[in-house]
Structure 1
Amino acid sequence: MPTPTGHTRAIRASRAIGTDVYNSDHDKIGEIEDIMLDKMDNAIMFAVVSFGGFLGIGEKYHSIPWASLDYSKEVKGYIVPFSKEKLKDGPVSSLHDLTKDDGLAARDSSYTYYGVDPYWS
């Protein structure tokens, strides 16, 4: 069954990692650095999107609910329905902090901040 925009529901993580991410104005904001999996719920907790930096120095990592990313053939990347300002002010963590406490704090703050319905309820 396809997604609302006609894409397949299944995708390999290796295909998503490294894909560019754009905001609602189609400005590139970063790329998929990693994908956090919830082993107990068999779900994707969130995408780890890296913003800024050069060669890994100064990068910021944002946890963005996976369901909010929509692949666009036009830009050959994912588009999130958020403005630059919303993304800039979003929850930021180190890669280490994203997995702290089983990733629940990063997951919860991300879904709350972006107003995405949680998959776990």
Structure 2
Amino acid sequence: MPPLGRLVIYTKKIDALVDFYCSHFGYQHLRIEGDRIVELRAPDGGASLLLHPASKGQKAGQSLIKLVFDVQDVPAFCEKAKERGLDFGPIHQADGYCFATAKDPSGNSVSVSSRAFVVSP
């Protein structure tokens, strides 16, 4: 099966999202002259984010998707993010892992979760 390579985010705030994902999650941006899509490349080979200009009819934050970033120490990540101006909501405890959620500048849900680091029985 091929791996997930890219996710498209429709937005009216491309520059704000470039700053957000590069500053808080380590993405590198790639702008190709003449292309209206801005590619954000993951720092460790994860899926790229493609920022696509939203049409007039698209509403911000109206998707049924949440971006989840794998973080071993969720409380520490959230504390460092707060120092950089990103406030996550409460840290929730689940079955052996925890997670917290915030919004990007376009109103999309973004979560950090330690689920990927839970050892299976």
TM-score when normalising by structure 1: 0.27
Structure index of larger Rg: 2
TM-score when normalising by structure 2: 0.27
Structure with the bigger percentage of helix: 1
Higher relative contact order (CA 8 A, sep 6+): 2
